[in-house]
């Protein structure tokens, strides 16, 4: 598993489809790929030893309530914990910690009042050359 696959493995581990934000698609393509709400879109960037990065991800839900999406954000925060999580890949690993501010609700301008978005921030330290 390389760095990109390890990052995808992390975001895919929460029971939702996870897609690199550069692979984010319009609604029609999302349907064709069978990706439906809820899902996670995440930022993918890579560095080498001792160059931590702040990366973002978005939880996307279609709901009249913030309850489910808030619970999922809390679940992800609890999984990372206070000390972080180490995700292995060939030749190294990613040390993932919660950034400050870790989670915040975001306004959505799609015209659909039932789309809920929570933005998450993590610090990712790639531990390899």
The CA distance from 44 to 22, in Å, is: 8
pLDDT band at 70 (very low <50, low <70, confident <90, very high): very high
Q: What pLDDT is stored for residue 21 in this prediction?
A: 82
Query: What is the predicted pLDDT for the residue at 39?
Result: 93
Return the residue matching tokens 């001792």: 50
> How far apart (Å, rounded) are the C-alpha atoms in residues 72 and 65?
13
For the chain, the domain total comes to 1
pLDDT at 11 over 80: yes
Helix and strand element counts for the chain (H, E): 3, 6
Cα 58 to Cα 119: distance, rounded to the nearest angstrom = 5
Averaged pLDDT for residues 65-74: 97
CATH of the domain at 113: 3.30.2000.20
Q: What is the mean pLDDT of the segment spanning 55-80?
A: 96
pTM (2 decimals)?
Answer: 0.89
Does the pLDDT value for residue 30 go beyond 80?
A: no
When pLDDT is averaged across residues 85-111 and rounded to a whole number, the result is 91
Average pLDDT on 38-52 reads: 85
User: In whole angstroms, what separates CA 40 from the centre of its chain?
Assistant: 5
**Nearest partner of 8 among 38, 50, 40, judged by Cα:** 40
Give the domain extent around 21: 3-126
Q: What is the mean pLDDT of residues 59-75?
A: 96
Selected residue with higher pLDDT from 108 and 54: 54
Reference 54, options 109, 113, 119; nearest CA is: 119
Q: Residue 45 pLDDT more than 70?
A: yes
pLDDT for the residue 52: 82
């Amino acid at each position: 598993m390389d760095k990109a696959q390890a990052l995808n493995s992390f975001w895919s581990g929460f029971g939702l489809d996870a897609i690199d934000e550069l692979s984010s698609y319009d609604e029609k393509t999302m349907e064709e790929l069978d990706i439906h709400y809820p899902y996670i879109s995440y930022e993918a960037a890579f560095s080498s030893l001792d160059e931590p990065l702040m990366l973002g991800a978005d939880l996307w839900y279609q709901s009249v309530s913030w309850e489910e999406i808030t619970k999922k954000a809390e679940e992800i925060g609890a999984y990372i914990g206070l000390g972080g999580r180490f995700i292995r890949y060939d030749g190294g690993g990613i040390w993932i910690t919660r950034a400050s501010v870790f989670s915040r609700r975001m306004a959505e301008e799609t015209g659909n009042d039932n789309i809920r978005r929570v933005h998450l921030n993590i610090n990712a330290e790639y531990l390899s050359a």
